Amino acid sequence: MGGANSTLKRSLEDEFNRLVKAGREYLVLGELLAVRLPPCPWTLEPAHLASLFVADRNHDGRFSLDELLDFMSLGNDRTQKYHAHEFRAQIEAECTLRLFEALSREGGPAQFTTWVLALLKENGPIKEDSHRPPTVFISRDAVADLFYLLRMEEKHGISLEDFLELLQEAAEEQGLMEVGNRDFQNWVPIQSVEEFIGQFNDGAQHFMAATFPDHYLKAEASQAAQKSREAVSWSMQKGSTGMSS
């Protein structure tokens, strides 16, 4: 596995340098989703919301190369635990458990919502409607990335067009958008997305409360977090040793 891991690491570094914009030291969501790594059973999937939550350590909606390499080191550690055919599913399950544990903490839902909004704001242009109380809009492309990450069509059978329309209709009912304003037909108020994420949080917490006893959830998430810290520490120590030799 050592050779495969080295190849993936080099490929990630090459893709980061290919996609990062001049003057920046991080990728935004749309750029990260455009990363293409060699086909391999051990390749981590960027199009998974919980995995991105774990990878973005400081939750600023930006992904530095160090953060992505640290997340890859988590995957490298798990190659010793999981078989190739189950690797991706197990990693995603572990990240999902850590996300739900974060949501269960005091202030967790608000932190998660703030992070998702940061992901979307960093991901593309924003627009303001000056004809009403200040309302910030995000683009259709940013909404499409959220739709893709949440796997809305796969899990709920809703199309992107319907999803966009639902968010806009909710905004119109709240007076955040003018009905039929063509200047904003490809934009959605950030408040509408914030409310949607709040509903997503509620549903996620209810699901986990019904599926896992509280003490089990916390114990599993704690173990996952400890393993992640150990993997990152091992990776840093190994890198330090390599540099000094």
Of 29-43, 78-92, 229-243, the least confident: 229-243
**pLDDT of 205 strictly over 50:** yes
pLDDT-derived band at 87 (thresholds 50, 70, 90) equals confident
Residue spans per domain, the chain: 2-104+213-244, 110-208
pLDDT of residue 65: 94
From the CB of residue 182, how many other CB atoms can be counted at a distance below 10 Å?
7
Predicted confidence (pLDDT) per residue in 188-204, tens digit: 999 999 999 988 877 77
Instruction: Determine the pLDDT at residue 244.
Output: 41
pLDDT of residue 53: 94
Give me the percent of the chain exceeding a pLDDT of 90.
Answer: 33
Quick check: 67 and 56 in contact, CB under 8 A? Answer: yes
Predicted confidence at residue 55, as pLDDT, reads 93
pLDDT > 70 fraction of the chain, expressed in percent and rounded: 78
- Decide which of 215 and 134 is more confident: 134
The model's confidence at residue 178, banded by pLDDT at 50, 70 and 90, is confident
Region 22-49: what's the mean pLDDT?
Answer: 84
Report yes or no on whether pTM surpasses 0.85: no
